[in-house]
A and B are shown apart, each in its own frame.
Chain A
Amino acid sequence: MKPIATTRSAMGIMTGKLAVYWVLVSEIVIFGGLLACYVMNRIAHVEWAEQAAHTNTWAGAFNTLILLSSSLSAVLAHQAAEKGNGKKAANLLYLTCLGGLVFLIVKSFEWTHEIKAGFTIQSSGFWAYYYTAAGLHAFHVIAGMLVMLWVASTAKKNQELHRVENVGIYWHFVDLVWIFLFPLLYIAK
């Protein structure tokens, strides 16, 4: 028996996909609230620019490239799934996960360097926002990777291929958040 997410279409959209969008709505509120507060404080405290000068722009740019590339593989996986090629879709999802892993490795090196330099979450308002926003985003990357591995395992058997699009939508959103985090935390100095 097929799950209701694939058989019922509410408001002209599959229930599973609609549920993903509802998740994204909550994510917009979470990340949007956090980033809006960061922007407010950043404007109110010009001295934060001095702190932001210590973030590694090249590491942030490299991670942006990695996430944009992983979004490409995610959308290509969706394309393959729509053509009924589950094996190709699964391989592209694994590639997307690899992108997520590279992102996390770069981030861990970056954080190690910053913490060793004395910039911890307790150092100042800027660093508190920096670690909170980047950490929350990294948590979403990990969650996306785990779900993607599960989706790939079923897609490989040509089963539940609609999930490839659903997990892809989530992954693109994670990419979108980083697109805004990058200039806010790394470029505005």
Chain B
Amino acid sequence: MSADAHGHHETNYVKIWAILVGLLVVSVLGPMLGHPVITLITAFGIALIKAYLVAKNFMHLNVEKPIVHWTLGAALVLMVLLYAGIMPDVGRASGERWKKNAGWHYHGTSPHSEHSEGAEKGKGEGATGH
């Protein structure tokens, strides 16, 4: 497809880049306020906006053929299905015959000393670990 049909030449790419950099600054500074809701919005909300801007303006997905939207969309749906299908199990701390232990997942600020401690703990609880 020609550039004119896409309308690429009208896009001010430097301006889009400047907006993306501005959003990056907000996403770094926002979480420094220490408020969980602000962190969630500035870190992940802004990541979604940045992704949208890149996909629309740099990848030109807004003017791409429907087949592209469908194929990419199908992959995204699969990802959501994976998450929705597994999360109810992964998110649980215990089940009918199992209990999740901290083990390998827990790690203190001093890696050398506490790693071995965590590993030992994990071994000890291995029988019931998930």
- Tell me how far the C-beta of A176 lies from the nearest C-beta in chain B, rounded to whole angstroms: 5
Which residue of A48, A72, A123 is within 8 Å of B13 (Cβ)? A72
Q: Which residues of A contact B50 (CB under 8 A)?
A: 68, 179
- Tell me how far the C-beta of A146 lies from the nearest C-beta in chain B, rounded to whole angstroms: 20
Q: How far is the CA of A36 from the CA of B86 in the complex (A)?
A: 10
Report if A183-B43 is in contact (Cβ < 8 Å); known contacts: A28-B75, A50-B107, A118-B111.
yes
- Beta-carbon contact of A187 and B28 below 8 Å: yes
Q: In this complex, which of A18, A61, A169, A187 has the most chain B Cβ atoms within 10 angstroms of its Cβ?
A: A187
Size class of the B contact interface (CB-based, 8 Å): 35 or more
A interface secondary structure, majority = helix
Q: How far is the CA of A141 from the CA of B3 in the complex (A)?
A: 27
Contacting A at CB under 8 A, from B1-51, are 1-3, 8-9, 13-14, 16-17, 20-21, 24, 27-28, 31, 39, 43-44, 47, 50-51
Instruction: Jot down 29 A-B pairs with beta carbons below 8 A, ordered by A.
Output: A11-B67, A18-B67, A21-B71, A25-B74, A25-B75, A28-B76, A32-B79, A36-B82, A41-B90, A47-B105, A48-B105, A54-B109, A65-B21, A68-B50, A68-B54, A75-B57, A75-B58, A79-B3, A79-B9, A82-B9, A124-B105, A126-B107, A176-B54, A179-B50, A182-B47, A187-B31, A187-B39, A188-B31, A188-B39
Residues of A within 8 A of B (CB): 11-13, 18, 21-22, 24-26, 28-29, 32-33, 36-37, 39-41, 43-45, 47-48, 50-51, 54, 57, 61, 64-65, 68-69, 71-72, 74-76, 78-79, 82-83, 117-120, 122-127, 168-169, 172-173, 175-176, 179-180, 182-183, 187-189
